Structure 1
């Protein structure tokens, strides 16, 4: 055995005394369904312009409601800018509120503030459903696009089934939004429309993303077992 000199011994001692940095586990790296939907802050940010519109409309009328909702959306964008957070969600929210408010202003009907969201929900339900029928489930397509894992999932029947289930769950969520919102729209229930938009927005989206996350994990696990995906390095 080669004798250890003073320099080597000192190096070994420093190495032994150096604090070990804990490696994050896969569980720690994975964001929750709520995080994927924008987190608690995203939930609040999406609800505030709608709540401002409904409250202001009931108290002061349509014009004040439009101004209030647009002002709240703009204030959220400014707040994110000051905090140096991503502006993309805020700008999307401002754009959506401005379009919805413009339609409501043009028609003179407060309930038309929710019109785009209603028909967008129907379009989303149809799109997710059609993607399953053409054997390209949208949950898998979007997941693959964001992770860069390609379309290897198409080579495994069970993986396609997982993603079909997740995509149908998303189609059901969008379909439920449309049915409930359209019924309230036809009944002129403006306050209930606002509540439905908030309650069936981020919370339901988080549930849908939870199903998508389950499908992705189940598919990746199976594909790795089949040797179609490389095993994650330790």
Structure 2
């Protein structure tokens, strides 16, 4: 009788084919980031990565034109319904373009959904400046989340990069990585809070034209700058870590 016949095969652990919650979350975060064009493992330049993430010229147009249409129309006519209709209409055009380009329905409809939500409040209140309230809430939420993550020593940039680099949360034991990720997370928090601080005075003054202009200026340009800083810093951080490991082995 062979050993295989004498010893019955041991059953696999019940959870052997089950993945942990952190692994599932890591895959979700990593997949979303890579679909957006962020991949620290790639050899792409910082500029190329930033351009992919913002969506190129189409992404810029989708971000700027609906809001610009609202500002110009309302400033020229003072007709709130017309301005909002043109803004939402512009978002709808980009949605159709995305659908024709075989984007996923969620990705295609997200911009239109955001435009409709933003238009709902000013239609209800009659105050054109309320078109920007949803943006204020978004900035408060993101800014607070980034700051809080640093305070509890789970900087969000580290969480995202850790999953993208397939190291989970082991980066938390590396002081240099913790410092870099915490600093970058604070920079992102300041971006959102700076937008809020710069726009609120014009909101309370009812200056729709200036408020919209400030939002456009502090939108993609600042986002692209902070994203470029983040990608460059993370790339350099891991390059130095690899050099240190190589020196230690030598």
TM range (shorter): 0.7 to 0.9
Question: Which of 226, 236, 241 in structure 2 is aligned with 1:208?
Answer: 226
Quick check: 1:128–1:138 contact (8 Å CA) kept in 2? yes
- Could you say what secondary structure the match of 1:28 adopts? coil
5+ long unaligned stretches in structure 1: 1-24, 228-234
Give the alignment's TM-score, normalised by structure 2: 0.74
Q: Partner residue of 1:121?
A: 139
Shifted more, 213-222 versus 99-108: the winner is 213-222
Give the alignment's TM-score, normalised by structure 1: 0.79
**Cα distance in 1 between the residues matched to 2:64 and 2:119:** 15
**Map 1:71-110 → 2, pairs under 5 A:** 71-85=89-103, 88-110=106-128
CA RMSD across the alignment = 2.3
Q: Does 1:33 align with 2:27?
A: no
Shifted more, 198-207 versus 136-145: the winner is 136-145
Larger radius of gyration: 1
5+ long unaligned stretches in structure 2: 1-40, 246-250
**Cα distance in 1 between the residues matched to 2:107 and 2:230:** 21
**Cα distance in 2 between the residues matched to 1:105 and 1:71:** 15
Runs (4+) off by over 6 Å: none
Could you report, residue by residue, the CA deviation over 1:63-92 in whole angstroms, capped at 9, with x for unpaired residues? 001111110000001112223345544422
